[in-house]
Amino acid sequence: MQDILTVTLNPAVDLSTSASEVSSGHKLRCATPEFSAGGGGINVSRAIRILGGHSRAFVALGGNAGQRLQTLLSDEGIAEIAHSAPGETRTNVAVTCDQTGEQFRFVMPGPTWPDADCAKLLTRLNAMTNPAGLLVLSGSLAPGMPTDFARTVIAALKDTGPSILCDISGRPLHDLCAAPNPGLDVLRMDLDESEEIFGAPLSTRTDSARFARDLVAGGVSKTVIVARGPDGSILASETGCIHVTALDVPINSKVGAGDSFVGAFTLARARGFDLATALQHGTTAATAAVTTPATELCRKVDFERYLPDCVLSDITL
């Protein structure tokens, strides 16, 4: 199996708790908090482990919170590669109201990265990559990192040789889609993100396929994936466009579906499966993830049960 390296540039210690009510003006007595390691790349590594694979997690860590996060990863059995961040790793807080079931999420920005630290990160990351491996860049950039930093990472690793998959959002995603990226192998986004970039609704599978195909033709990425939620996933490459159906399953929480997709897709590629099969694996894992509560990712038993029914088909444009 190929080596997998996930990259999390702005991780977090996620603190979750609950209170009988959440309102202003007085102290809120909370339940004993639970702590977990959070961040896009970390979740991808977690999904890979759940599905029986192995990856290394490159994580930027700083301060006491960074040490706690490192311990949390070790306790989970995730092989982390710690890189020194220029400040304290952020702690995010989620409080659930027992009376209403509503969850209030407080997301911190994380430490600010000066240019010199960004340059050091690129050098270290280059040294950690396996030329024959897979690299997953997932999650948010840290404050101080320029909007085009994902593009910079891809360009810096282009000659090193790893196959790069990128799953980011917001302005950095728009930046990636604005120009060719010769070193980018797979770019994934969801339907809302693709419509924002396109500037209009993508109502049908064919609409999404044309959008993804045009990005491939423009050199943005060799492969582009658009996740259409309950309507499955679209993949466009130089050889054509394919679709995988998602199943009609009870939805408990959509949180973690994207990371489960990327974990399963990457693991399939690392095991030597073609793009179509990897798309099927990713879509199945995302389907499994929405059936689990809160932030829990996919479960292997559900993934194996759903896999035969997530059907592949070609899209003719």
Classify residue 179 as exposed, middle or buried by CB count within 10 Å of its CB (0-12, 13-18, 19+): exposed
Active site residue 185: no
CA distance 2 to 130: 9
User: Tokens 């994902």 — which residue?
Assistant: 150
Classify residue 200 as exposed, middle or buried by CB count within 10 Å of its CB (0-12, 13-18, 19+): exposed
* Sheet architecture: strand order including 233-237: 79-84, 56-61, 4-8, 134-138, 163-167, 186-190, 223-227, 233-237, 240-244, 312-315
Q: Which of 3, 117, 259, 314 is catalytic?
A: 259
Handedness of CA 217, 213, 173, 70 (dihedral sign): negative
> Which tokens sit at 249?
């399953």
Q: How many helices (H) and strands (E) does the chain have?
A: 10, 14
User: Tokens 């159906």 — which residue?
Assistant: 245
- ∠ CA 174-176-180, rounded to 5°: 130
CA end-to-end distance (rounded Å), the chain: 34
Other CB atoms within 10 A of residue 107 CB: 13
- Which positions are annotated as active-site residues? 259
